[in-house]
Structure 1
């Protein structure tokens, strides 16, 4: 009996629970695709649109109760003067609907701004152009709304900056990934599809960059001062350079004195006579006898 009650409660709760919202919802050349959040055979999807000057959401006729995960939404361009509509998708099951998920566009067009990102130490520059159809029609009343936040945050509910063109976002955490999403606005009202988020890493500033710059500037100043001095000596004072390059030497103290007398005496004297002792003596008379 208890098992039956628990089983009925589980079945009722499952039937009364809202279906999970679709994921990865985006438009690519007016083909809307999404990823089902769960493999449920009885779950369908409906696409809604809102025109430029209306806050009312209406069903896209060809995209109601779709069991597939895609739908062509080209027909919605005719629902607005500028062809700029907003789109959202919601899942349906047993009469219950999920939270609607707003659609983003992967490519810029007349209704979705094109932008590029340039990260710097502690900041992020979002490059945008004022050359678009809304700006030509409404001048400075047409702006860009730049949503930004850390990766994983819901950007459409995060911080944002309104700008006519490019904007730099300061005071960001270094070493952290930030994502940006941009949408056109007119008098503060969102117009057209927002861009799909783009994420970049904010680089860390080099702590030793300042001493390196100072050293480079000092070296350049030294070179600027030395080059004219070296050129002057090479052109006007070459003899001074020869003197500086001549190796040091010392002459002996008696280098310039005359030679001593005994050297001359030795060279001019005659050979010495030999001395001997007489051992015997024979006269000529003795030899004759």
Structure 2
């Protein structure tokens, strides 16, 4: 009995495991009415079916011209003509032997009536997302339609977003890192139309331009000269006496500037003029 139950459980789990292993398509995008995707597996007998859903409804319907296609593209052609000019969501799923993969939503690469056209410019620490205020939905719904800009580092989920009527700049980004964005229209805070395909840019690092470097060097030189001038003025005014003392040469009177010594045997005559003669030295006086 136990063996029978194990066999039944194994048979039930086989389709579940097979379904998990069936990889969905990747890189799904559309241009105008051409829907394109990349097969995630090289297995044979895998077909693809595209679906659409009108915004405001929850029902997904197959696109008759894109049902069980073995190719990686198809022409979008709705069964009802009025759907052509309405905003719809698109997605593609893989099928094989009654198994179905997880459906993946499509994005718009070059913009359309229901998807904004996006361009990026990266600067040190910031990323600017250029968007047009004059688009088809704005003409019909005026200021009730805005852009929702999702952003985040490459490889991470883009959960952060900003809402804006036109272009928006995202600041305080890490330099040297690659950031990605995607944009979608919102009407009264509700998504309208497919998202734009993800675009990424590397945030450049800050660099000092040559002109800025020259200005900084010039300012430093001027400051140094001013400080040097004040130092010289201080020394000349306050330490003037000490400077003169330092500059004064040592005073030594040469021998030839001295007066001749008085002659040891020179005497004065009665007339007041000196006369020469032999004089005895008086040794004592009593």
TM over 0.5: same fold?
A: yes
Instruction: Give 1:179's aligned residue.
Output: 180
Q: What pairs with 1:134-145 in structure 2 (closer than 5 Å)?
A: 134-145=137-148
| In 1: Cα distance, 2:198 partner to 2:80 partner | 23
Instruction: Give 1:265's aligned residue.
Output: none
Structure 1 residues not aligned, in runs of 5+: 223-289
Instruction: Give 2:249's aligned residue.
Output: none
**Is 1:87 aligned with 2:90?**
yes
Instruction: Give 2:198's aligned residue.
Output: 197
- 1:28 deviates by 2.1
Give the conservation status (yes or no) of the 8 Å contact 1:117–1:125: yes
Give the conservation status (yes or no) of the 8 Å contact 1:76–1:85: no
| In 1: Cα distance, 2:35 partner to 2:131 partner | 25
Instruction: Give 1:59's aligned residue.
Output: 62
Q: What pairs with 1:149-228 in structure 2 (closer than 5 Å)?
A: 149-155=152-158, 158-206=159-207, 212=213, 215=216, 218=219
Query: Among residues 17, 39, 42, which one is paired with 2:42 in the alignment?
Result: 39
Give the conservation status (yes or no) of the 8 Å contact 1:46–1:91: yes
Distance of aligned partners of 1:212 and 1:189 in 2 relative to their CA distance in 1, 3 Å threshold? same
**Is 1:128 aligned with 2:128?**
no
Instruction: Give 1:72's aligned residue.
Output: 75
Pairwise CA RMSD: 3.3
Length-normalised TM-score, structure 2: 0.65
Structure 2 residues not aligned, in runs of 5+: 1-5, 224-286
Length-normalised TM-score, structure 1: 0.64
What does the per-residue CA deviation read over 1:183-235, in whole Å, with 9 as the maximum and x for residues that have no partner?
A: 1121222222221111111011237999738628859x99xxxxxxxxxxxxx
